[in-house]
Amino acid sequence: MSSYVIDPPKVVTVPVAGGGEFPVRRIFCVGRNYAEHTREMGGDPDREEPFFFTKPADALLTGGADMPYPPKTADLHHEMELVVAIGRGGTDITEAAALDHVYGYAAGLDMTRRDLQAVAKKAGRPWDMAKGFDLSAPIGEIVPAARIGHPAAGAITLSVNGKLRQSSDLDRQIWNVPETIAYLSGLVTLAPGDLIFTGTPEGVAAAVRGDLLEGAIAGVGSVRTRIV
């Protein structure tokens, strides 16, 4: 009988509205999934297919906890996003069946070391250290789809120190949730516990120490953190 030679890592979980914890396996993030943000970042929303990057599960920050300003950056950006929690896995999931695989939804922030990302892009290198750093994914409670349905439209906003910074609607996504799940499941086998951050609208900008970030998605919930 085998035994661990070190203590195994703790299971990362996100609180579920109404009680319970959602265990997290992997975090996938969709890049440039709103037309105006794609233009904001120098892309062409009319021709780009979806692309994905990942964050480690322990990048999640829950419960409205403070987020430490990360090292090796002078340009930390916020990106407000709808998060999809996968409850049933699969490969090559069809768009028609995609929502049957969703457990629920949450509001989340994809925090980005934009200066490191710019250097990586210019050098043709991976973005990992720009996106997947410690506590780079603040997230609110996951709300079961059985309770709220599957939001295809609704306001998505982020305020910084009480001032509106990002404002859009879920129906402006280039790739909607069923399309995203179908496409991603053709690249990897999705499994229960996977999260998908579905991209951010325009208005991304720098956050500094002391800033209070408060995001909300109509019909889904909210996310909050202070940069310290």
d(CA 86, CA 103) in angstroms, rounded, equals 5
Residue 26 tokens read as 């992997």
Q: Is 5 part of any domain?
A: no
Q: Is 6 part of any domain?
A: no
Q: Is 154 part of any domain?
A: yes
> Which run of H or E residues covers position 183?
helix 177-185
Question: What is the pLDDT at residue 41?
Answer: 57
The total of structural domains in the chain comes to: 1
Q: Is 1 part of any domain?
A: no
Q: Taking the CA of residue 27 as centre, how many other CA atoms within 13 Å lie in the half-sphere pointing to its CB?
A: 33
Strand ranges, E, within the chain? 13-15, 21-23, 27-31, 51-55, 60-61, 76-77, 80-86, 102-109, 112-113, 137-138, 143-144, 155-160, 163-169, 195-197, 212-217, 221-226
Q: Is 8 part of any domain?
A: no
217 band by pLDDT with thresholds 50, 70 and 90? very high
- What are 159's strand-pairing partners? 164, 214
Q: Is 166 part of any domain?
A: yes
Rounded to 5°, angle at Cα 161 from 158 and 162: 65
Residue 44 has pLDDT above 90, yes or no: no
DSSP state of 71: S
> Which run of H or E residues covers position 179?
helix 177-185
CATH number at residue 55: 3.90.850.10
What is the gyration radius of the CA atoms in the chain, in angstroms? Answer: 17
SS3 string of 94-151? Answer: CHHHHHHHEEEEEEEECCEEHHHHHHHHHHCCCCHHHHCCCCCEEECCEEEHHHHCCC
Residue 216 tokens read as 């909300």
* Each residue's pLDDT tens digit, 111-165: 999 999 999 999 999 999 999 999 999 999 999 999 999 999 999 999 999 999 9
Q: Is 181 part of any domain?
A: yes
Q: Is 182 part of any domain?
A: yes
Question: What is the pLDDT at residue 32?
Answer: 87
Residue 57 tokens read as 């599960």
Question: What is the pLDDT at residue 87?
Answer: 98
Range of the domain at 211: 13-226
